[in-house]
Amino acid sequence: MAQLDVVILAAGQGKRMRSGLPKVLHPLAGRPLLEHVVTTARALKPRRICVVYGHGGEQVLRAVKAPDLTFVRQRRQLGTGHALAQALPHLGTSGTTLVLYGDVPLVEVDTLKAVIAGAAEGLTVLTAELAQPAGYGRIVRGRGGAITAIVEEKDASVAQRRIREVNTGIMALPAARLAGWLSRLGNRNAQREYYLTDVVPLALADRVAVATVRARAASEALGANSKSELAQIERAYQQRCARRLLERGVTLADPTRIDVRGELACGADVAIDVNCVFEGRVRLADRVAIGANCVLRNTEVGAGSRIEPFTLIDEARIGANCRVGPYARIRPGTRLAQDVHIGNFVEVKASAIAAHSKANHLSYIGDSTVGRNVNIGAGTITCNYDGARKHRTVIEDDVHIGSDVQLVAPVTVARGATVGAGTTVWKDTPPGGLVINAKTQEHRRGWKRPTRKKVTRDP
Q: Which residues are catalytic?
A: 361
Residue 215: strand, helix, or coil:
coil
**Whole-number Å distance between alpha carbons of 26 and 232:** 13
CB 198 within 8 A of CB 81: yes
Please count the helices (runs of H) and the strands (runs of E) in the chain. Answer: 8, 38
Angle at which helix 57-64 crosses helix 33-43, to 10 degrees, equals: 50
CB 180 within 8 A of CB 174: no
Whole-angstrom CA distances from 116 to 11, 48, 91, 223 are 24, 15, 16, 21
Q: Which residue, among 74, 81, 71, 82, has the nearest Cα to 34 in the 3D structure? A: 71
- Alpha carbon 411 to its chain centroid, in Å, reads 40
CB 320 within 8 A of CB 302: yes
Q: Which residue, among 329, 319, 330, 360, has the nearest Cα to 342 in the 3D structure? A: 360
Contacts of 202 (CB under 8 A, 6+ apart): 181, 184, 185
Tell me which H or E stretch contains 71: strand 69-73
